[in-house]
Amino acid sequence: MSDPSVNDLSTVQLVERLQSQTTTLVKTELQHAVAEMKGKGTRIGVGAGISGAGTLLVLFGLGTLVAAAVLGLANAVPAWLAAVIVGVALLVIGGATAAIGAQRAKSAVPPAPEQTVESVQRDVATVKEHLK
C-alpha cells in the first residue's frame, strides 16, 4: 500500500498521523530512558560492591593491626612483626580497592537519563521548527 502525499490527506488523517507518530516517539524515548537508567544503576551497584569489599579489607587490616599490637606486647617476638606486615598490606590493598570502587560509583552520577533528555529536547526543537 503506497503512502499518500501529505497534500492529499485530510485534516483528520493528518491529526491521526500526528497522534500515531507522537505516541511512537514517546514510547521510544521512554524505552531509551529506562535502558539508560538500568545502565547507570548497574554501574552504581558495581561501584558500591567494590567499595564494600575495600572497606571490609580495611576492617580486617585494622583487626590484624590490633592483633599485632597484642602479640607484640605479650611476647615481644618476631611474630608481631609478621602480623604488622600483613595488617599494613591489607590496609593498602583495601584502601586502593575502596578508592577504585568509589571512583566507579562516582562516574555513574547523576543517575538521570542524560542522553534521553537530550534526545527529547532535540525532538521538541524539531517539532517547534516544523510548526512555524
Residue 4 lies in a domain: no
pLDDT in tens, 23-57: 888 888 888 888 888 888 888 888 888 888 999 99
Please count the structural domains in the chain.
Answer: 2
Residue 20 lies in a domain: yes
Q: Is the pLDDT of residue 77 over 70?
A: no
pLDDT band at 73 (very low <50, low <70, confident <90, very high): low
23 and 70 share a domain?
A: yes
- What is the 8-class DSSP label of residue 108? T
Q: Give residue 74's pLDDT.
A: 66
Residue 83 lies in a domain: yes
Residue 2 lies in a domain: no
Contact indicator for 36, 113 with CB cutoff of 8 Å = yes
Residue 22 lies in a domain: yes
Q: Give residue 1's pLDDT.
A: 44
Residue 87 lies in a domain: yes
Amino acid occupying residue 82: A
Task: Supply the range of the domain harboring residue 50.
Answer: 11-76
Written as nine digits, the cell of 47 is 561501584
pLDDT band at 69 (very low <50, low <70, confident <90, very high): confident
CA quadruple 49, 100, 102, 48: dihedral, nearest 10: -10
40 and 89 share a domain?
A: no
Our CA angle for 39, 121, 35, nearest 5°, is 15
Alpha carbons within 13 A on the beta-carbon side of 92: 6
pLDDT in tens, 81-124: 877 787 788 789 889 999 888 888 887 776 667 777 788 788 78
| CA pair distance 52, 65, nearest whole angstrom | 20
Residue 65 lies in a domain: yes
